[in-house]
A and B are shown apart, each in its own frame.
Chain A
Amino acid sequence: MNRLSLLRAGIVLVLLVLVWLILDGLDSLLTGLVAAVIGASLFVLLHVPRPYHLRIWRLPRFVLFFLVESVRGAVDVAWRAFHPALPIVPAMIDHGVELPAGQPRMLLVSVISLLPGTLSADLDSDGKMLKVHAISEDPDIAVRTLQAQIAYLYGLIGTPRP
């Protein structure tokens, strides 16, 4: 076990203890510690090495992007829902996926649904083409922006812009 995976196990341990503290407070901390150690050990045993790791210092930027876009998405869909004329233009678009398989692609499929106007519908079997359901104009731009943000988060490109 190298130093990096030891560090990751440490992070998992700290996170698990934190979750325990949040859920249960200080009353039965000992039980929590034992459970957290078991959890972190299982992580070490079952962990499958992944080729892509997110750059933790780039996370705040992604979280901010995500929050701003989520709010825009919610306001957009609320506006469409309340508008008397129901201004939605449902369409299916196929969008090329440039992100590699694994975490980056999974994040793309999950987060698309929360961006304004787009909903991830289906990924084809080799994962190169994503069917996106759109209810607004310009869904391509939204998907491309998100792909660039994720690629930047995982250190695949040097700038978060497409």
Chain B
Amino acid sequence: MSLLLDAFAALLLLIGAFFYLAGTVGLIRFPDALSRLHALTKADNIGLLSICAGSALMAGELRVALLLLLIWLMALFAATVSAHLIARRSLRDAEDSGADAGKSPS
């Protein structure tokens, strides 16, 4: 049972690492600032959730699990707000310089 739990926890950690990797690959490969934000917000959010869930299982303690949940919620909040602010800034910059933010590669 404990082995099964550990295996499941390890699987969650691996999934988390995969999404972080995907987010980083997206950050490098996507053509402009706004597209890159897509990769960072969405992939990292689920990556962190996975890693938190895996760590909570490994810790096997309710308080640690709740602490990790709290960490995830706060990171989620910070990520959405900062993504929106960065998107708005880069959009307004692009408008100021007369380019189309959605299409022009940076």
Q: Which residues of A are interface residues toward B (Cβ below 8 A)?
A: 19, 21-23, 25, 70-71, 73-74, 76-78, 80-82, 86, 88, 90-92, 109-111, 113-114, 116-117, 119-122, 131, 133, 135
B-side contacts of A74, CB under 8 Å: 19, 22, 42-43, 45-47
Point out the residues of chain A lying under 8 angstroms from B77, CB to CB.
110
Cβ-defined contact, B80 with A110, below 8 A: yes
Q: CB distance A22 to B63 under 8 Å?
A: yes
Main secondary structure of the interface of B (DSSP, over half): helix
Q: Is the beta-carbon distance between A71 and B84 smaller than 8 angstroms?
A: no
* Contact indicator A122/B19 (Cβ below 8 Å): no
B76 to chain A, nearest CB (A): 8
Known contacts: A109-B84, A113-B83, A119-B41. The answer to whether A70 contacts B46 by CB under 8 A is yes
Residues in chain B near residue A114, CB distance under 8 A: 41-42, 45, 76, 80
Could you say which of B38, B84, B91 has the most chain A C-beta atoms within 10 Å of its C-beta? B38
A122 to B39, CA, bound (A): 18
* Cα–Cα distance between A25 and B67 once the two chains are bound (Å): 11
Contacts of B23 in A (CB 8 A): 77-78, 81
In the complex, A133→B87 CA distance in Å? Answer: 9
Whether A88 lies near B25 (C-beta < 8 A) is no
Residue B7 is within 8 A (CB to CB) of chain A in the complex: no
Whether B70 contacts A19 by the Cβ 8 Å rule is yes
Please judge, given known A-B contacts A90-B102, A120-B87, A122-B88, whether A77 and B26 are in contact too, CB under 8 Å: yes
Least CB distance from A81 to B in Å reads 3
Chain B residue with the shortest CB-CB distance to A78: B22
A111 interface neighbour in B30, B35, B80, Cβ under 8 Å: B80
For residue B70, which residue of chain A has the nearest CB? Answer: A22
B88 to chain A, nearest CB (A): 5
Which residue in A77, A86, A90, A121 is a CB contact (below 8 Å) of B43?
A77
Return the 9 tightest CB-CB contacts between A and B, nearest first.
A78-B22, A81-B26, A74-B46, A92-B102, A73-B42, A110-B80, A121-B87, A133-B34, A81-B25
